[in-house]
Amino acid sequence: MIDTHSHIYAVEFDADRAQAIQRAKDIGIKHIILPNVDSESLPRLLALESEYPGFCHASIGLHPTSVNENYQAELAIIKNELERREWAAIGEIGIDLYWDKTFLKEQIVCFRQQIDWALEYNLPVIIHVRDSFRETMQSLQPYKRSALRGIFHSFTGNIDDANEIISFGGFLLGINGIITFKNSGLSEVIEQIDIKNIVLETDAPYLTPSPHRGKRNESAYLNLIIKKLSEIYKINGSEIVKMTTINSLNIFNKLPKNGYF
């Protein structure tokens, strides 16, 4: 299985990162995608990838909550990094209007610039959407007939939102611990969506699934998400793993395609 979104390079794992990674391996996780936040998080992310080559895979991007008056300098760093080496994806990028709307215009500029680079370098995008679904879809419209592909990270929308994303083409829905939250309503949405449209993620150390909600999340808790999806789709957990892994490999084209099943 593949955790398509985990911030295990974060300080929350400094005391037991090696053990958390071993627990992930023990449940059968083969790859972890590490989404970037900004230039400050990049050294930690790259150090972790270097420590676990072939298992941890670095993405590069400017998170919307890190967009401010200094965004051009941050974008320049991303462009230099894209020219320097290969990356698993561009992300996480997008629009976040939950915390602050001050830099909405700049968020959209950064979002579109990074999408352009994703197309230029043939990379998937990992899209962050929070209180900004309409703005996000409007920003994506110029790319509807392009080769753009990626993941709508931490999908929590309704069935109309899901169908709009799916019909756009090229995108899958990232499903994490929220699916286990009793009052999230996400289960009722996901049961109406073909499993070919979803991938697994944890967003560790955030969004810890039940029954560990309120504690630090980690990649090994992917098993709890699989268990819930197995209940929703009424199929064996091993089938959930197989299908979502295939979905992930179709998005992250630089990962090896063999040795999974």
Question: How does pLDDT run across 43-75, given as a tens digit for each residue?
Answer: 999 999 999 999 999 999 999 999 999 999 999
Residue 260: pLDDT over 80: no
Residue 243: pLDDT over 80: yes
Q: Note the pLDDT of residue 165.
A: 98
Per-chain mean pLDDT for the chain? 97
Q: Which residue has the tokens 């919307």?
A: 64
Q: Note the pLDDT of residue 41.
A: 97
Q: Which helix H or strand E contains 80, and what residues bound it? A: helix 71-84
Q: Note the pLDDT of residue 256.
A: 85
Rounded-to-integer distance, Cα 141 and Cα 5, Å: 25
Is the CB of residue 43 less than 8 Å from the CB of residue 76?
Answer: no
Structure tokens that stand for 200 in this block: 């697994």
Average pLDDT over residues 141-155: 96
Q: Note the pLDDT of residue 157.
A: 97
Confidence bin at 133 (pLDDT 50/70/90): very high
pTM for this model (two decimals):
0.97
Nearest to 228 by CA among 196, 200, 197: 200
Q: Note the pLDDT of residue 11.
A: 98
Rounded-to-integer distance, Cα 169 and Cα 148, Å: 8
Higher pLDDT, 226 or 258: 226
Q: Note the pLDDT of residue 145.
A: 87
For each of the domains in the chain, give its residue range(s) and CATH number, in order of start. 2-251 (3.20.20.140)
Residue 129: pLDDT over 90: yes
Average pLDDT over residues 233-259: 94
Structure tokens that stand for 25 in this block: 């391996």
Rounded-to-integer distance, Cα 248 and Cα 244, Å: 6
pLDDT tens digits, one per residue of 161-185: 999 999 999 999 999 999 999 999 9
